[in-house]
Amino acid sequence: MSCTVRRFLAHAGAVQLRSRCVESAQAQSGKLFCKRLAMMTDQNDTANTGNVARRDFVALSLTAGFAGASEPAAAADSDVVETDVEIKTPDGTCDAAFIHPKAGSHPGVLIWPDAFGLRPAMRGIGRRIAAEGYSVLVPNPFYRVSRAPFSDASHFNFQNPADMAKLRPLMASVNAPGNAEKDATAYVAFLDAQKQLNRAKKIGTQGYCMGGALVVRTAAALPDRIGAGASFHGGGLVTDKPDSPHLLAPKIKARMYFAIASNDDARQPDAKNKLREAFEQAKVPAEIEVYPGALHGWCVPDMPLQNGSPIYNKQDAERAWAKLVKLYKAALV
């Protein structure tokens, strides 16, 4: 498929859109991720937010070309339009993908990627939920440091300190105090400016790994606009800090869903209880469940291997997907 379309939309300045072709991606998945990434999330306040040279990512930016887990997204490609966009924020210009059904206006969805950011695997997730009848934005959350730095996560080595060091400034850039809230406001404003968005409907937001905590921050920052939030193997949802995401429950009006990996639960067994208590006390509807046997990253097809075996789990990923679709159908009204 090839396309060359350029047009401009007005929103807080000129937003340039350029159409491009996209490929479905799939691969296997990785483990040490859960532990090390959770530690990095907890340390983001003090992490180095300096620039990362783009050449550092050349070896990591591999072309995705896998089949299997991406089949649902591939089937959805013919039903949706995907466009690369640039969004002005208070801190710069964010590169993102805007994906929507070919006709009509629809409820909006904001996808917060995992630690590898905007790439074919996340675009595939965006296309699939767009095919359900939503206008979807998938931003590069690391735009302050780099344009989308990865095209594939499957060859990343979580046991390599040098590789892990490359993630820290990326994650720190979006997790610095106030940044997620500023970004969420800009992203939702972009969605609301599009003719493909039905502004009479609430917006949903979903996040993976570090994106789970960003979902909570988004729902708290924009309570009158966000109607549903879903976290899949989210990291840093419950910390011992005063700005822990779970403490934002009283500010949220959205219906929430938290899907927890079994090894995340083993590492922090009290987190699910603290989440449940926080949302119950705030009288915010929230479903919180642990997926037995599912490992951190099980929903994302291009995760690295764990000891030679995949973390991506199609059966549990499909169960989580069904929960997401049900949530949006009920709450984005």
- DSSP assignment of 66-116 equals --STTHHHHHHGGGEEEEEEEEEETTEEEEEEEEEESSS-B-EEEEE--TT
Instruction: Grade residue 157 by pLDDT with cuts at 50, 70 and 90.
Output: confident
Rounded percentage of the chain residues whose pLDDT exceeds 90: 71
What tokens does 147 get? 């344009």
The Cα–Cα gap between 193 and 331 comes to 21
Would 222 be classed as within a structural domain?
A: yes
Q: Look at residues 148, 150, 10 and name the one whose alpha carbon lies nearest to residue 87.
A: 10
Confidence at residue 312, expressed as pLDDT on a 0 to 100 scale = 96
Kindly report, residue by residue over 195-233, the tens digit of the pLDDT.
999 999 999 999 999 999 999 999 999 999 999 999 999
pLDDT average, residue stretch 317-323: 98
Q: Which of 31-40, 54-63, 100-109, 144-153 has the highest mean pLDDT?
A: 100-109
The Cα–Cα gap between 46 and 43 comes to 6
Identify the sign of the CA torsion 201, 206, 211, 214: positive
The Cα–Cα gap between 126 and 122 comes to 6
Burial of 25 (0-12, 13-18, 19+ CB in 10 A): buried
Q: Give me the domain span that covers residue 259.
A: 6-331
Q: How many domains does one find in the chain? A: 1
Which CATH number does the domain housing residue 205 bear? 3.40.50.1820
Q: Which of 146-155, 226-235, 271-280 has the lowest mean pLDDT?
A: 146-155
Residues 188, 223: contact at Cβ < 8 Å?
no
Burial 248-267 (b: 16+ CB within 10 A, else e): bbeebbbbbbbbbbbbbbee
Q: Give, in degrees to the nearest 5, the angle at Cα 333 between 202 and 81.
A: 65
Would 312 be classed as within a structural domain?
A: yes
Would 1 be classed as within a structural domain?
A: no
Reported in sequence order, the residue ranges of 187-305 that DSSP labels E, i.e. its strands, are 203-208, 226-232, 255-261, 286-291
pLDDT average, residue stretch 291-310: 92
Does the pLDDT at position 8 exceed 80?
Answer: no
Confidence at residue 74, expressed as pLDDT on a 0 to 100 scale = 53
Rounded percentage of the chain residues whose pLDDT exceeds 70: 77
Q: Which of 64-73, 100-109, 223-232, 316-325 has the lowest mean pLDDT?
A: 64-73
